Structure 1
Amino acid sequence: MGEFDLIKQYFTRPTPKAVLGVGDDCALLQPRPGMHLAISTDMLVSGRHFFADVDPRALGHKALAVNLSDLAACGASPLAFTLALALPQADPAWLAPFSQGLLALADAHGCELIGGDTTKGPLNICITVFGEVPHGQALLRSGARAGDDIYVSGNVGDANLALAHLQQQGTTPLPPETFAQARLRLEQPTPRLALGMALRGIATAAADISDGLLGDLGHILERSGVGATLDTSAALHLLAAYPALAAAAAPSDAPALQRALLKHVLSGGDDYELVFTAPATQAAAVQAAARASHTPVTRIGRIEAQSGLRLTDGDGQPMELHLQSFDHFGSD
């Protein structure tokens, strides 16, 4: 199968949102009046971001989901995306499910594939996504203010728990059902687009959680010039697997289990949930946005004028944890 046959068979579709889609040297997009374009690029590399034997359908889903998550963090709605794909070989048995997983998620969010590139080489997936957001309404990392509450959407930590289990690095045994649910979070994350759009005009700052909750919240703190206190007890309950694991543990093991699981929650990454801030006076509006988008949110802390990030336990007492979020060039 040649390059252009591959593109035509698996990745060429009608693109009514684009002025021009696949087939020319450039695609053409026309933003609607009063809209800004929101653009983000992510790369997934075999052996670095995913296992070589991962289900190609799930990989297609995740490849686009991680980009859509960036649009969600900006409060943008999806328009289109480009796909740059390096393949060891043109294998229809891999390409068919990969494109199906990719395009099913694209269709679910009205995001059109408008171009890209293919080449032969080690498996590498690079997607650039385009969205739109009304002028002046984009959610940025730089708007958090002292007194704002800190929220997180959905569940956090389960993806890293599954990764540790797959790498046989986990300190906590996972029952088969718990592992299966956690693995789904790792391989097929849910981009929180509806929540991001619902938070426009409510949230003061936002980021998606890709490299770990502490690290991505840290980006907000740095860009906003503020600090924060985070309640680790509230954060621990972001882990969907926590109730089952806590129930199976002996009471004497509870403190050690909680500290071990907090590492997955606070520094694990691969969650693609949103961490965002909002004034305390907007608490009812935040919950209304959560209900409207069918996305649970949890308050886990407060923004403060004093720089730095402080952790407290359930009683409000200071807590010391030495954690580091993922860094592509600092984690080898």
Structure 2
Amino acid sequence: MSGEFSLIDKYFAHKQQQRKDVVLAQGDDCAIVAPPADSHIAISTDTLVSGTHFLSDADPAWIAHKALASNISDLAAMGASPAWVSMGISLPEVNEPWLERFCSAFFSLADYYGIQLIGGDTTKGPLTITLTVQGTIPHGKALTRGGANSGDWIYVTGFLGDAKAGLDVILENNISADKAFNHELEKRHFKSTPRVLAGIALRDIASAAIDISDGLISDLGHILKRSNVGARIDVDLLPISSELMQFVNSLDIAKQYALTSGEEYELCFTVPEANRGQLETALSNTPFTCIGQITGTGNLDLHSNDQPLDWQLGGYDHFKVSQ
């Protein structure tokens, strides 16, 4: 891209105070960081592509939030404290008003979570944003997908289903233009809240955790597979917002949205019976709901009013959904 380095200097370099653990940031072949003693580094990479994860005319501030928040959510699911991020971005052209809004929102969210941009790359091409986030976890404290045991209770944070409803608004699927909550659902699709403090608080309480990026059905399935257990979910306990209920106007459909909605970036986690009493204090500032229990079998069973449900549902698939 012509003027790549001037573009980096103008929009990406020197926008944040340097963390004390950053030895060398942008401007060299590699960044250098100094992780805390007795800590491991958690690393996650995610890519957002125009036409798949957002429409080309979407608000660049919302795109920036979605890109960074979705990556920070991976750190939250591991109980990691966010520290550093690298960005690779391709742009079809240099659109300065677009970059101003994108970078303003990106650095605002980064500063809020104490995460520093330490490097990356810019190039010309279809609009694509790839982030690699890194965080720190004390030795032996990482939350994983593989620790759930029979009898553990299953919890989720926040509400579920709003991101899918927001996607319907964006794609104009089954919506009415005069519904005042449409904009709020669209906003929730883009502007999730990474549950970083909840993840850190759960380090010594939860037995397993995952963030909900591909739908509760799919992501809980990852915990079950890694832990070699099953689960029983009471769909009547799923946390559903009033906006979602008004949007779909059907309790059963709202429950199915909650089970399958991708890109929620809430946490799903399991807790042994002995640790349940600690949750109210540990998650005092985070809404959470118990939705079921881990079982000894390898199945995921859905129930309502103590009756089994035969809902054939799948998770969110990035290769099947086009925005």
TM-score (normalised: structure 1) = 0.92
Are 1:64 and 2:64 an aligned pair? Answer: no
How far has the Cα of 1:176 moved from its partner? 2.8
| Whole-Å separation in 2 of the counterparts to 1:33 and 1:212 | 36
For 1:218 and 1:77, the matched residues in 2 are separated by: 25
| Distance 1:169-1:243 versus aligned 2 partners, 3 A rule | closer
* 1:253-310 CA distance string (max 9 Å, x none): xxxx22222221111111000000001222221221210xx11000000000011100
> Comparing 158-167 with 131-140, which one deviates more in the overlay?
158-167
1:8-29 Cα shifts (integer Å, max 9, x gaps)? 1111124233111000000011
- What is the rounded CA distance, in whole Å, between the counterparts of 1:330 and 1:184 in structure 2? 22
Counterpart residue number, 2:112: 108
Equivalent residues, number:
318
Between the aligned partners of 2:27 and 2:200, the Cα distance in structure 1 is: 32
Q: Which 5+ residue runs of structure 2 have no aligned equivalent? A: none
Q: CA offset at residue 238 of structure 1?
A: 3.1
Correspondent of 2:290 among 290, 293, 299: 299
Paired residue secondary structure (1:326): coil
- Whether the 8 Å contact between 1:217 and 1:275 is mirrored in structure 2 is yes
**For 1:1-332, what aligned pairs fall within 5 Å after superposition?**
2-13=3-14, 14-16=17-19, 17-170=21-174, 173=176, 176-235=179-238, 237-242=239-244, 244=246, 257-291=250-284, 294-313=285-304, 315-329=305-319
The 8 Å contact of residues 143 and 206 in structure 2, kept in 1 or not, is answered as: yes
Over the aligned positions, Cα root-mean-square deviation in angstroms equals 1.6
Supply the distance in 2 between the matched residues of 1:96 and 1:216 (Cα, whole angstroms).
Answer: 35
Q: After TM superposition, give the deviation of residue 208 of structure 1 in Å.
A: 0.3
What SS class does the counterpart of residue 119 from structure 1 fall into?
Answer: strand
Runs of 4+ displaced beyond 6 Å = none
- What is the distance in 2 between the residues matched to 1:2 and 1:122? 18
Q: Is the 8 A contact 2:240 2:254 kept in 1?
A: no
Does the 8 A contact of 2:169 with 2:185 survive in 1?
no
Matches of 1:173 and 1:145, distance apart in 2: 45
Q: Is the 8 A contact 1:165 1:174 kept in 2?
A: no
C-alpha distance in 2, partners of 1:92/1:208? 34
Deviates more, 1:276-285 or 1:125-134: 276-285
SS of 2:308's equivalent?
A: coil
State the AA in 2 paired with 1:192: R
Q: Is the 8 A contact 1:213 1:267 kept in 2?
A: yes
The more displaced of 194-203 and 319-328 is 319-328
Q: Distance in 2 between matches of 1:106 and 1:272?
A: 16
Q: Is the 8 A contact 1:227 1:307 kept in 2?
A: yes
Q: Secondary structure at the match of 2:24?
A: coil
TM-score by length of 2: 0.94
Structure 2: which amino acid aligns with 1:2?
A: G
- In the alignment, the residues of structure 2 paired with residue 101 and residue 328 of structure 1 have an alpha-carbon distance, to the nearest angstrom, of 25
- Report the CA distance between 1:155 and its aligned residue: 1.0
**Would the alpha carbon gap of residues 70 and 220 (structure 1) be closer, same or farther in structure 2, given more than 3 Å must change?**
same
Percent identity of equivalent pairs: 44
